[in-house]
C-alpha cells in the first residue's frame, strides 16, 4: 500500500449536529438558489431527472430527493492505483495520503537559484523526487510545462509524470474532452490497454466548479469522458470565505458542499457508479492584501470540515494542506503549512495536497518537497497517538531498571524505539558544537543535500516503450 498516515486519534471540527445543519443548508441552496450548469447535455439529463432548468440563465434547481438518492449511487470502494502495486492507495476513510499539489506555473531552479516559469523538466524532477519520499503518497504534478505549446501541455505533463513516478497521478490539465481522450490513451499505453486501465486506473482527473455556484460546460463534459472510461473524478470546489463564499467558514463550506453534491448528481446521471471524490481548497480572502490566504488557520479548518462532510455522505475527500503564501522556505512557510495540514489530517481526510509548493501553490521548490515530506511524517506520528497497554507500560522493565539508572541497554528499548519515536531525516538534533563542526548547515542546506542524494541514488520502474510511441503520435496529431 502507498505511503499513508493512519489516524488513530481523530480530532473533528464539526459535531454530528453541525454536519446535519450544513447538509440541510446545502440542500436548501440547491433547491432554492440553484447552480448554473452551462452544459446542454447536462441540462437535459437534469431536466429528465426532474430538475427545474432555466435555459436562459442555465440555473438548475435540484430536488432534495434526487440529490440524496444519487449521493448514494457513487462508487464507495475507491482505490487510486499506482503504476506498481506497492503504491496503491485505498481511500477508505482510515488512511490519509499526502500529495504534491498541482499546476503551479513557476519553479525555483535547483541549480541556478533563479525563479522562472516552470518547464517540462520541472514536472519530471518534482515527480522523481516525490517518488522517493516516504511522506508522499501520490502525485499531482506540482507544475505544468510552460515551455511547450498550450495545446500539448497535458501530454507533456502526463508523460513526464509517468516516466518519473510509480505512484498514482492526479491530472488537472485535461480540461477539454479531446485532452481527456489524449490522457486516457497515454495512461492506457503505460498499463497495457484501455481494459487494464479500467481495472486499475493509475490516473484520476480533476474537474472543477466555478464558485460561487457555477459549473462550466466544457470541463464538465470532459469529465464525462474520463468517468465513462472508469477514471475517478476529483470534483474541486473553491469558495473562498469573504470572496467567492460567505465570510463565515460554515457558510463557505455549505456552498462548497452544495457545488460538490450538484457535481455528483450530474456525474451519477451520466454514469451510475462513477468514482467521485469531494475535493476542495477553501482559503479565505485576506482583507488587507486582497489575496487568497493559502495556509491560513481558516484554510486548515475548512479543509477539515469539508473532509468530514465528504465522509458524512460516504465520499473520499481530497483537500488542501501544507499550503503557504510565503515566497521561500522560511519560518512563515513552516507555520502556515502546519496550520493548514494538521486539522484535515487529524479529521481523517483521505488526501492532503500541497507539499512542495510556495506562494499559495504557485512555485515549486524541490527542497520544499523534502521538507514537507518530513513534516508530514511528524504529523503522522502525532496522528497515530499513544498506545497504552501492558506491553507499552513496560512495568517489568521499569522494575528491572529501578531507581537512578538508564534504559539505553535494555532489549525493550532496542525493540521499541524505532516504532515509538519519530526519526528525522532533515532535522538536526545534535549539539551546537557538533552542528558548527559540520558546517552549520541550515534546514534548507540539508534538504538540498537530500535532493542531490535522491537524484544520484533513486530509481523508478521504466515505462513500456509504447508510451513514447503514443506520445509521438499524439504530439503529431495535436501540432496540426
Whether 254 and 245 have beta carbons less than 8 Å apart is answered as no
Smallest Cα–Cα separation from 300: which of 260, 255, 357, 352? 352
pLDDT tens for 258-301 read: 999 999 999 999 999 999 999 999 999 999 999 999 999 999 99
Strands (E) across 17-58 are located at 35-38, 52-53
- How far apart are alpha carbons 478 and 472 in whole angstroms? 10
Distances (CA, A) of 465 to 127, 157, 159, 350, 470: 19, 17, 12, 33, 9
**Average pLDDT for the chain:** 95
Q: What is the mean pLDDT of residues 126-147?
A: 95
Model confidence at 455, pLDDT cuts 50, 70, 90, reads: very high
Please give the share of the chain, as a percent, with pLDDT higher than 70.
100
So what's the pLDDT on residue 6? 79
pLDDT tens for 170-224 read: 999 889 999 999 999 999 999 999 999 999 999 999 999 999 999 999 999 999 9
- How far apart are alpha carbons 93 and 315 in whole angstroms? 9
Domains belonging to the chain, first-starting first, are 5-14+72-384 (3.20.20.480), 390-420 (no CATH)
Nearest 5°: the CA angle 210, 280, 178 is 55
So what's the pLDDT on residue 54? 97
Distances (CA, A) of 196 to 161, 227, 258, 394, 474: 19, 15, 34, 50, 20
So what's the pLDDT on residue 270? 97
So what's the pLDDT on residue 102? 80
- How far apart are alpha carbons 439 and 436 in whole angstroms? 5
- How far apart are alpha carbons 174 and 348 in whole angstroms? 28
So what's the pLDDT on residue 76? 82
Rounded to two decimals, the pTM is 0.94
Smallest Cα–Cα separation from 67: which of 51, 48, 47? 51
Model confidence at 93, pLDDT cuts 50, 70, 90, reads: confident
Q: Which three cell numbers stand for residue 294?
A: 493559502
Q: Which three cell numbers stand for residue 430?
A: 545534535
Q: What is the mean pLDDT of residues 450-478?
A: 96
> In this structure, are strands 106-108 and 363-364 parallel, antiparallel, or unpaired?
parallel
Asked if residue 480 has pLDDT above 80, the reply is no
So what's the pLDDT on residue 3? 80
So what's the pLDDT on residue 327? 96
pLDDT tens for 321-359 read: 999 999 999 999 999 999 999 999 999 999 999 999 999
Q: What is the mean pLDDT of residues 421-436?
A: 94
Amino acid at each position: 500500500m502507498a505511503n499513508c498516515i493512519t489516524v488513530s486519534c481523530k480530532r473533528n471540527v464539526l459535531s454530528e449536529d453541525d454536519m446535519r445543519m450544513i447538509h440541510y443548508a446545502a440542500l436548501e441552496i440547491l433547491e432554492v438558489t440553484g447552480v448554473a450548469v452551462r452544459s446542454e447535455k447536462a441540462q437535459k439529463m437534469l431536466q429528465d431527472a426532474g430538475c427545474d432548468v432555466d435555459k436562459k440563465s442555465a440555473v438548475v434547481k435540484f430536488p432534495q430527493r434526487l440529490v440524496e438518492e444519487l449521493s448514494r449511487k457513487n462508487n464507495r470502494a475507491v482505490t487510486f492505483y499506482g503504476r506498481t502495486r506497492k503504491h496503491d492507495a485505498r481511500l477508505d476513510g482510515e488512511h490519509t495520503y499526502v500529495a504534491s499539489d498541482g499546476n503551479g506555473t513557476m519553479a525555483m531552479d535547483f541549480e541556478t537559484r533563479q525563479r522562472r516559469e516552470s518547464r517540462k523538466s520541472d514536472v519530471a524532477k518534482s515527480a522523481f523526487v516525490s517518488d522517493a519520499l516516504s511522506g508522499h503518497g501520490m502525485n499531482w504534478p506540482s507544475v505544468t510545462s510552460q515551455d511547450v505549446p498550450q495545446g500539448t501541455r497535458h501530454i507533456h505533463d502526463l508523460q513526464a509524470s509517468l516516466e518519473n513516478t510509480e505512484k498514482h497521478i492526479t491530472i488537472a490539465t485535461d480540461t477539454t474532452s479531446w485532452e481527456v481522450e489524449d490522457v486516457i490513451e497515454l495512461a492506457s499505453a503505460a498499463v497495457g490497454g484501455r481494459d487494464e486501465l479500467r481495472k486499475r486506473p493509475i490516473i484520476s482527473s480533476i474537474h472543477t466548479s466555478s464558485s460561487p455556484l457555477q459549473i462550466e460546460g466544457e470541463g464538465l463534459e470532459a469529465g464525462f469522458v474520463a468517468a465513462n472510461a472508469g477514471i475517478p473524478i476529483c470534483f474541486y470546489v473553491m469558495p473562498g470565505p469573504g470572496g467567492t463564499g460567505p465570510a463565515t467558514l460554515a457558510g463557505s463550506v455549505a456552498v462548497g458542499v452544495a457545488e460538490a453534491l450538484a457535481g455528483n448528481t450530474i456525474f451519477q446521471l451520466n454514469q451510475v457508479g462513477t468514482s467521485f471524490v469531494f475535493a476542495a481548497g477553501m482559503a479565505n480572502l485576506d482583507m488587507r492584501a486582497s489575496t487568497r490566504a493559502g495556509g491560513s488557520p481558516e484554510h486548515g479548518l475548512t479543509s477539515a470540515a469539508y473532509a468530514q462532510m465528504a465522509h458524512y455522505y460516504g465520499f473520499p475527500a481530497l483537500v488542501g494542506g501544507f499550503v503557504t503564501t510565503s515566497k521561500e522556505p522560511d519560518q512563515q512557510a513552516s507555520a502556515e503549512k502546519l496550520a493548514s495540514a494538521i486539522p484535515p489530517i487529524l479529521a481523517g481526510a483521505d488526501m492532503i495536497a500541497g507539499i512542495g509548493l510556495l506562494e499559495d501553490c504557485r512555485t515549486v521548490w524541490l527542497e520544499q518537497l523534502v521538507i514537507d515530506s518530513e513534516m508530514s511524517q511528524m504529523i503522522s506520528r502525532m496522528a497515530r497517538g499513544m498506545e497504552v497497554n501492558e506491553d507499552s507500560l513496560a512495568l517489568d522493565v521499569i522494575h528491572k531498571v529501578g531507581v537512578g539508572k538508564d534504559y539505553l541497554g535494555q532489549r525493550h528499548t532496542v525493540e521499541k524505539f524505532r516504532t515509538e519515536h519519530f526519526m528525522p531525516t532533515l532535522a538536526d538534533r545534535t549539539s551546537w558544537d557538533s552542528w558548527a563542526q559540520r558546517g552549520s548547515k541550515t534546514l534548507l542546506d540539508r534538504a538540498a543535500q537530500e535532493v542531490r542524494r535522491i537524484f544520484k541514488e533513486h530509481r523508478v520502474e521504466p515505462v513500456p516503450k509504447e508510451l513514447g510511441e503514443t506520445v509521438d503520435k499524439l504530439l503529431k496529431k495535436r501540432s496540426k
